[in-house]
Structure 1
Amino acid sequence: MKMSRNRHFNYTLTPTRLNSAKPQEKPYKLTDGGGLFVLIQPGGSKTWAYQYRLDGRRREVVIGRYPEIGVADARDRHAEYRAMVAQGNDPVAHKRTDDAERNARALMEADEGQFKAFSLKWLDERLGNKSDGYRAQMRSLLDRFVWAEIGRKSLDEVRPAHVLAIIEKRRDTPNTAENVRVLIQQVYNYAIQKLLVETNPALALRGVIEVPKAEHHRHLSESELGAFWRAVGKQGAHPSTTAAVKLLMYSMCRKAEVLRAKWSEIDTDKAQWDIPAERMKSRRPHRVYLSTQALELLEVQRALTGDLEYVFPSAFRANVPMADATLNHLFKRLDFGVPEFCPHGTRGTAATLLREHGFSRDVVELLLAHTERSQTAASYHHHELEADRRRAVQYLADEIERQAAISAAGNVVSIKAKST
């Protein structure tokens, strides 16, 4: 169906301009025309959307990611949505129905053995118990690197040569290449279990791309911790961003767990924060005991966001949590003498400090929410050692303050020395 005759304005965006558009510290829009635009996020994603007015209200419907949805396809969809609005119909309601039909078609196509459709089925059936973030990461790998190459092929049509071509294109990023190969292998393992194919084209390619040894996240020494804490306070970031960094260290939680914290999970009277299983990497609920400093931080934060769902909401959309990229960008800007320090390094820093100051491995492992390999040990340790864990998080917070004070005093001395 040709939609171009309905257009009475000039579109302005081109693939060249979209491809060259770089992410900035904050999201920004590139306008195409007629309410159609591309939103570019700090993390680099580019999303088509259409803004319109209906019944006196301004509304917005997401069309999809660029470049998966190209310029011409986005404009065709835009023309359809404009026609709906002209007739008094809401594109958002239409898109919900359209998405449901598309998913149903994908599942039907899966029975016919197309790789893309079957991989969608695999995502739904095999990763249903994984976190939303993990499923999104796996779908993104398929979307960016796999579907364009073999998505339309039948499962039994894909050969090792096809998989090799995919991973060879990623040779400069060996970890990504191996992740993609393993992902294809997992999809085919499931297809074999479903008796749809008999061989796995990705299995024979193990070791084709040499993956470098994993490097553990850098942790900070005590003196570096003091310098880090002072640098966070002097950065001039949004108060919620600064508070999120500090709770990251106080709680010893992962970045995603902190940024998606909800006020309903936190009981300040009991000085504890209960994270539900679905938001934990281990898929088990985790209790975080809160130090005096963490409670003071949350008291200030409640004044800012206490009437919202999330403790650390996005600065741009109050009903969604702060983006991971916000913390990543802040850590990259910090200048305290340790390059390449990342949010995950706070866990190693806190764990190392506590172990070096006499706290047991069991206590630290519980604070980190690490899963015990032994089921017997796991059942024994579940929410155990409360007193020890409370003592540990309070010691951690006190030690952070002490090291920050030492760092500040040292800085004053060095300034005086220079002046003399």
Structure 2
Amino acid sequence: MAVKVIPLTDKKINSAKIHDKDYVLSDGDGLQLRVRSNGSKIWNFNYKHPQTKKRININIGKYPGVALLNARKKALSYRDLLAQDIDPKENREKKLAEDKKITEHTVKNVALEWYELKKHSVTADYATDIWRSLDRHIFPLLENTPISSVTAPMVIDLLRPIEAKGSLETVKRLTQRLNEIMTYAVNGGLIFANPLSGIKANFKKPKKSHMLALTPDELPELMMTIANASIKRTTRCLIEWQLHTMTRPSESAGAKWEEIDIEAKTWTIPPERMKKRREHVVPLTDQALTLLETMRPISGHREYLFPSDRNPRTHANSETANTALRRMNFGGRLVSHGLRSIASTTLNEQGFEADLVEAALAHVGDNQVRNAYNRTDYLERRRPMMYWWSEHIEKASQGNLSVTGFKSLKVIGDNF
């Protein structure tokens, strides 16, 4: 005959003595109070797993924080689950995981996890642009939305006003970035499928536009304008440095003195500053070295070749050259990135080997063997081409006071 359990009372619980070892007071139907040797009292519900029949304890909480009446209510809810062949402990863990998805796995939190990985595969400037776009367009409305609650109609409605403004390129980039975030969430087991996989089809496609650039025969006009413009010496040198080295605006603006090897006549840009995250070595021509000597009195004692005007401890903004070109009335005709296009078009028209031109522009192809070859043999083969290009620029500058021309050094020395 089973021993009859006498239900607990608050008086009995409070008068329970502390022993050297833990012991259990039973309230019946699986509810137990464990009296610990340290004086604490903890509610447990003891039951058999509905499938394995193994004995399991599930913690309900400490007494008196969890009162006797509340402990009984919780035990009753667990018995109801067992009557449905549902394990209370597994059910609780499932609910905790679901709650975590709602409170922790929000759009912003998941985006942040994705961004921490993404930023290592892109340049610092591009990483900043990614986060800024999300912070500006996505987070204001979706920041605390559980990632599992995001739907295509929700995001489409969010992006419609941006499309209405005509910012189609922004919409395109946001849909790409949101898709990457959702794919990250799928791979992390946070959601079962990406609900945004096809949303780009709901928006107008941005028209492809070529980078604004001058034609090769307009180079003399550019050099004359730069020479006569009222711009700072650092800005002028930055524009010409970008032109001679055929590098991207951010690569030129962020150039460091430590990356320069005067003896080897090279500028080595580390992977983290390159668009394709791959080291790029630029052969330096005599004209490029002249630009360095022009900048040495200004920034030779600092980290960056082209220091910021506002804060000399950091580098010039990648938009510095663009701003200067607009002030020189090249707006709508030329952007600083287009300087590379002038070089590319000119060199290809002059019959230089296409692969050498592509290597000079740091364009990375899909052929890994060929890319490895480019990094070794192409460096020395690029030197004559780079020398020709610098001399071509200098010829286009004759009479126009280029920084690299002897006449210009005298004039620019008097014009800050």
TM-score normalised over the length of structure 2: 0.69
1:129 is displaced (CA, Å) by 3.0
- The one of 213, 218, 225 aligned to 1:219: 213
Q: Please give the alpha-carbon distance, in whole angstroms, between the structure 2 residues aligned to 1:279 and 1:143.
A: 23
Q: Please give the alpha-carbon distance, in whole angstroms, between the structure 2 residues aligned to 1:300 and 1:283.
A: 30
Return the letter of the residue paired with 2:135: D
Q: Please give the alpha-carbon distance, in whole angstroms, between the structure 2 residues aligned to 1:142 and 1:152.
A: 13
1:209 is displaced (CA, Å) by 1.2
What corresponds to 2:116 in structure 1?
124
1:383 is displaced (CA, Å) by 3.0
Conserved 8 A contact 2:213-2:335: no
1:201 is displaced (CA, Å) by 2.6
Alignment of 1:382-393 (within 5 A): 382-393=375-386
Q: Please give the alpha-carbon distance, in whole angstroms, between the structure 2 residues aligned to 1:111 and 1:310.
A: 44
Q: Secondary structure at the match of 1:206?
A: helix
What corresponds to 1:10 in structure 2?
none
Q: Please give the alpha-carbon distance, in whole angstroms, between the structure 1 residues aligned to 2:115 and 2:379.
A: 38
Instruction: Percent identity, please.
Output: 27
1:245 aligns with 2:239: yes
1:111 is displaced (CA, Å) by 7.9
1:331 is displaced (CA, Å) by 1.1
What corresponds to 1:400 in structure 2?
393
Evaluate the alpha carbon distance shift between residue 126 and residue 387 of structure 1 in structure 2; reply closer, same or farther with a 3 A threshold: closer
Evaluate the alpha carbon distance shift between residue 223 and residue 407 of structure 1 in structure 2; reply closer, same or farther with a 3 A threshold: farther
Deviation track 1:331-379 (CA, whole Å, cap 9, x = no partner) reads 111236x843000101111011111112101110110111121111111
- The one of 340, 365, 387 aligned to 1:372: 365
- The one of 294, 299, 306 aligned to 2:300: 306
Evaluate the alpha carbon distance shift between residue 198 and residue 250 of structure 1 in structure 2; reply closer, same or farther with a 3 A threshold: same
Alignment of 1:47-126 (within 5 A): 112-126=104-118
What corresponds to 2:136 in structure 1?
144
1:203 is displaced (CA, Å) by 1.7
1:112 is displaced (CA, Å) by 2.6
Q: Please give the alpha-carbon distance, in whole angstroms, between the structure 1 residues aligned to 2:216 and 2:173.
A: 35
1:189 aligns with 2:183: yes
1:160 is displaced (CA, Å) by 1.3
What corresponds to 1:413 in structure 2?
none
Q: Please give the alpha-carbon distance, in whole angstroms, between the structure 2 residues aligned to 1:333 and 1:366.
A: 32
Q: Secondary structure at the match of 2:175?
A: helix
1:303 is displaced (CA, Å) by 1.4
Q: Please give the alpha-carbon distance, in whole angstroms, between the structure 1 residues aligned to 2:358 and 2:198.
A: 37
Q: Please give the alpha-carbon distance, in whole angstroms, between the structure 2 residues aligned to 1:147 and 1:365.
A: 39
The answer for unaligned runs of 5 or more in structure 1 is 1-107, 409-420
- The one of 310, 332, 347 aligned to 1:316: 310
Q: Secondary structure at the match of 2:137?
A: helix
Cα RMSD (Å) of the superposition?
1.9
Conserved 8 A contact 1:109-1:117: no
Return the letter of the residue paired with 2:314: V
Q: Please give the alpha-carbon distance, in whole angstroms, between the structure 2 residues aligned to 1:198 and 1:166.
A: 23
Q: Please give the alpha-carbon distance, in whole angstroms, between the structure 1 residues aligned to 2:102 and 2:309.
A: 40
Q: Please give the alpha-carbon distance, in whole angstroms, between the structure 1 residues aligned to 2:367 and 2:233.
A: 42
1:212 is displaced (CA, Å) by 2.6
Evaluate the alpha carbon distance shift between residue 304 and residue 126 of structure 1 in structure 2; reply closer, same or farther with a 3 A threshold: closer
Conserved 8 A contact 1:109-1:118: no
Return the letter of the residue paired with 1:213: K
Q: Please give the alpha-carbon distance, in whole angstroms, between the structure 2 residues aligned to 1:188 and 1:272.
A: 42
Q: Which moved more, 1:307-316 or 1:122-131?
A: 122-131
Alignment of 1:143-292 (within 5 A): 143-171=135-163, 172-292=166-286
Evaluate the alpha carbon distance shift between residue 202 and residue 325 of structure 1 in structure 2; reply closer, same or farther with a 3 A threshold: same
Q: Please give the alpha-carbon distance, in whole angstroms, between the structure 2 residues aligned to 1:262 and 1:383.
A: 23
Conserved 8 A contact 2:101-2:146: no
Evaluate the alpha carbon distance shift between residue 301 and residue 126 of structure 1 in structure 2; reply closer, same or farther with a 3 A threshold: closer
Q: Which moved more, 1:245-254 or 1:271-280?
A: 271-280
Conserved 8 A contact 2:214-2:333: no
Return the letter of the residue paired with 1:382: R
Conserved 8 A contact 1:159-1:201: yes
TM-score normalised over the length of structure 1: 0.68
Deviation track 1:253-311 (CA, whole Å, cap 9, x = no partner) reads 00000010000111122211111111111111111011111111111111111000000
Q: Please give the alpha-carbon distance, in whole angstroms, between the structure 2 residues aligned to 1:109 and 1:343.
A: 45
Deviation track 1:154-201 (CA, whole Å, cap 9, x = no partner) reads 111111121011110111211111211121111101101111111323
Q: Secondary structure at the match of 2:198?
A: helix
Q: Secondary structure at the match of 1:156?
A: helix
Evaluate the alpha carbon distance shift between residue 212 and residue 129 of structure 1 in structure 2; reply closer, same or farther with a 3 A threshold: closer
Q: Please give the alpha-carbon distance, in whole angstroms, between the structure 1 residues aligned to 2:229 and 2:153.
A: 50
Q: Secondary structure at the match of 1:324?
A: coil
Conserved 8 A contact 1:276-1:286: yes
Conserved 8 A contact 2:281-2:379: no
Return the letter of the residue paired with 1:307: H
Conserved 8 A contact 2:101-2:148: no
What corresponds to 2:336 in structure 1?
343
Return the letter of the residue paired with 1:179: R
What corresponds to 1:327 in structure 2?
321
Return the letter of the residue paired with 1:301: M
Deviation track 1:85-133 (CA, whole Å, cap 9, x = no partner) reads xxxxxxxxxxxxxxxxxxxxxxx98983211111111101343332221
